[in-house]
Structure 1
Amino acid sequence: MKAFITLVFITVTLATYAQTKYSNEFMNIGVDAAALGMSNAVTASTKDVNAGYWNPAGLVNLEDRQLALMHSSYFANIANYDYAAFAMPLDDRSAFGISLIRFAVDDILDTTQLIDDQGNVNYDRISLFSTADYGLTFSYARKLPVQGLNYGVNAKVIRRIIGDFANSWGFGFDAAIQFKTDNNWEFGVMARDITTTFNSWSYDEEAFERVQNAVEGQNQELPETTEITIPKLQLGVAKTYTFHYDYTLRAELDLNMRFAQNNDIISTSFASINPALGFEFGYIDMIYLRGGVGNFQNELQIDNSESLSFQPSFGLGFKYNGIHVDYAFTDIGDQSVALYSNVFSLKLDFSIFR
């Protein structure tokens, strides 16, 4: 049974690449527990090292170098998601950042050679492999001559590996702007994969043949060698309120748009729109309480009726002398499908050493 499950997993995974019209969904999970606790509604207000992911235009707000780290596990600790980023101001008008994401399932049993040509079972022939996705992003941001208006761009390199069965390289670009008014209104636009991101796959035919022959009746051709990640557009508006000097409240509404029809709450043949709403309550710029709701989906039921599902999130944060520790309780699906995960992230502002 274990051998069969493993072989079907590999076969279905590889076959999926031949059918998909967009890919690299691991790049849409999100980074930074502070943002995840707000249901990813930070497009307009992000302004630290993590802005390289959410909206690179926000990097111009950096006053010193920053380092960010994050780890989370999904699907009952089967999949590990790790993130590291560094950013720094170049001068008083521009900034640079670099980040790396790894999403992987490690130590998968390869039982394709468990049974030899004579039908003998040899457990020594079992090996382990990993399926891992990597995203390396280079970010640049600059202030424009208009007061409060900034722009940013990302160049992304995608590397995907499925053991010795298949691997791919991909390249893509993002573009973004942010605008802040004098009365603390903030606006943001993030266009992901604006040129469409192409992944070019190569396969080990010998390894793939083992999968084809190991499952009886399976003899499909090699999948297509190219994946396409279609563009996505994120629009955000945020407002920060201050009460009695010590208390702050930041609220943001984002609209996440895909140029494809799916189960989003607003869906047409041209585009689908999914809203996300996030809140952050702060006390003396040290303790933060966060919450949000997003990923609204129209789910088709057995009786052909539709029900609305959504993804709530919750988070906490603590900041002291340039050290930020954040926690989020969230998932990567809606509340009825995926298991919730505990996400922790750390951010270090190098001003602590000054």
Structure 2
Amino acid sequence: MDMDTRMLERGRRAAWAAALLLGLLLASAPASALGDGSRGTSGAAFLKIGPGARPAAMGEAYSAVADDIHAVYYNPAGLARVGAWELTGMHDRYFQGLDYNFIAFAVPVSRLVSRSTGVWSEYAGTVAVGVYDLAVDGMERRGETDTNEPTGTFESDDMAIALAYGRRIDEKLSLGGAGKIIRQSLDDRHGTAFAADLGALYQLDKRLTLAAGVRHLGTGAKLGGESDPLPLTGYLGAAYRLREPLTFSLDLGVPRDRVPTVSVGTEYTRKFSDDLRAALRAGYFTRNTDADGFNGVSLGFGLGFGRAGFDFAWVPFGDLGNTFRYSLLLKF
């Protein structure tokens, strides 16, 4: 082993150790160490809603599974696995009249480089842009009269735009990061914040993948006169492919504003031909068990036709109602 190879190996180990240590520190620290530990103390709470029907059906246990455009949210290091141009869109008719939409586009840098130079490199990485939007309109304005009768309506709109990049460091380790601009609007009040995500993936062997990282690290979300910290979350994840079509995943998350969360998921895929494939998915997420009634579980399926894929997820929130997510993914 020559000097350059040894230095690369040491750098790879140091980078993975640093990422893993960060995840372990966040995952093992009490909530009070990351904030005041009480619920509802974070601003821009819409950032907690993970996009995509496929990840949602797996209980959002996706940080180590991430191998498509949804890595822009769950673990930007997973963008290193994206080998084709990808475009996705998702719609979620949330409970209480909330509409949640997500659109993202990924471009492998290696494809751009190979077109101009004729040289292909799997270590060039992938760039992605994601847009998240949670909106509700028709909310009644009250409290302006003695009778507390509604005097009109107003709207709320929360949006984030993320620019992410992930690349392979070597055959086992991938690193990634994302920067986000967050814009909130509530009636006549507006606020802007900035955040970053960091992530790492380590392919231990052909079956087991490990993940670590942090989401929503940034400035406070100021809406009106007060500023609230963002919902900072550290995470650790693992994905294990038991057999070729069957995958199990596990995520541990530590939000700054509540107790740690655990999510588990599974996915069974079946390929019928070169152009036709299907998947069944299920998951459980402890964060979704706050409401009374049947909640926590998630179910979904996926259908693939050539370079196009459709995914569906059902996520119940007990007495609050059900959510149904629909995603379309195209590869070029």
For this structure pair, what is the TM-score category when the shorter chain's length is used for normalisation? 0.7 to 0.9
CA distance in 1, matches of 2:128, 2:175: 14
State how far apart, in whole Å, the 1-side matches of 2:171 and 2:222 are.
42
Take 2:304 and 2:211, find their aligned partners in 1: how far apart are those partners?
Answer: 25
259 and 128 in structure 1: CA distance in 2 versus 1, 3 angstrom threshold: closer
- For these two proteins, the number of residue pairs brought into alignment is 277
Q: Which has a greater percent of helix?
A: 2
Partner SS for 1:237: strand
Could you give the per-residue CA deviations for residues 239-285 of structure 1, whole angstroms, max 9, x where no partner exists? 11335xxxx0010011111245x4xxxxxxxxx32111100011117
User: Runs of 5+ in structure 2 lacking a partner?
Assistant: 1-38, 111-121
Partner of 1:163: 187
Q: Which TM-score applies when normalising by structure 2?
A: 0.76
TM-score normalised by length of structure 1: 0.72
Write the deviation string for residues 41-61 of structure 1: whole angstroms up to 9, x where unpaired: 011011111110111101111
Match of 1:24 in 2: 44
State whether structure 2 residue 67 is matched by structure 1 residue 80. no
Structure 2 counterpart of 1:193: 216
Q: How far is the alpha carbon of 1:296 from its aligned partner?
A: 5.6
- Tell me which amino acid in the other structure corresponds to 2:320: A
Query: Which of 253, 256, 261 is equivalent to 2:253?
Result: 256
Query: Residue 206 of structure 1 corresponds to which residue in structure 2?
Result: none
How has the CA–CA distance of structure 1 residues 176 and 51 changed in structure 2, closer, same or farther, with 3 Å as cutoff?
A: same
Cα offsets for 1:167-205 (capped at 9, x unmatched): 1001111100011133221111130123x4322334xxx
Change (3 A) 1:296 1:153: closer
Pairing partner for 1:174 from 197, 205, 212: 197
| Aligned residue number for residue 29 of structure 2 | none
Give the distance between the partners of 1:276 and 1:141, measured in 2 at CA.
Answer: 24
* Paired AA for residue 159 in structure 1: R
Aligned match of 2:164: 139
Distance 1:300 1:62 in 2: 36
Task: Tell me whether 1:46 sits opposite 2:66 in the alignment.
Answer: yes
Distance 2:154 2:289 in 1: 37
- Render the CA deviation track for 1:318-345: whole Å, top value 9, x for unaligned: 01111110000004x4xx3421111111
Tell me, in whole angstroms, the C-alpha distance in 1 between the residues paired with 2:302 and 2:53: 9
**Which consecutive unaligned segments of at least 5 residues does structure 1 have?**
1-18, 203-223, 263-271, 302-307
The structure-2 alpha-carbon separation of the partners of 1:110 and 1:273, relative to structure 1 and needing over 3 Å to count, comes to: closer
Distance 2:128 2:90 in 1: 16
Cα separation, 2, equivalents of 1:300 and 1:90: 44
Deviations 1:135-170 (A, max 9, x none): 1111011211x4220111110111110122x11001
The answer for the alignment partner of 1:281 in structure 2 is 268
Q: Which residue of 1 aligns with 2:89?
A: 69
Give 3-state SS (helix, strand or coil) of 1:41's partner: coil
Distance 1:20 1:278 in 2: 26
1:89 corresponds to 2:108: yes
SS in 1 for 2:54: helix
1:113, distance to aligned residue in structure 2 (A): 7.6
**What does 1:324-335 correspond to in 2, within 5 Å?**
324-331=309-316, 333=317
Q: Secondary structure at the match of 2:221?
A: strand
Secondary structure (helix, strand or coil) at the match of 1:229 reads: coil
Aligned pair in 2 of structure 1 residues 298, 349: CA closer, same or farther (>3 Å)? closer
- For residues 75-130 of structure 1, the C-alpha deviation after alignment (integer angstroms, 9 at most, x for no partner) is 25x11111100111112321111111111111334467899xxx9x9x9xx65431
Contact 2:289 2:295 in 1 (8 A): no
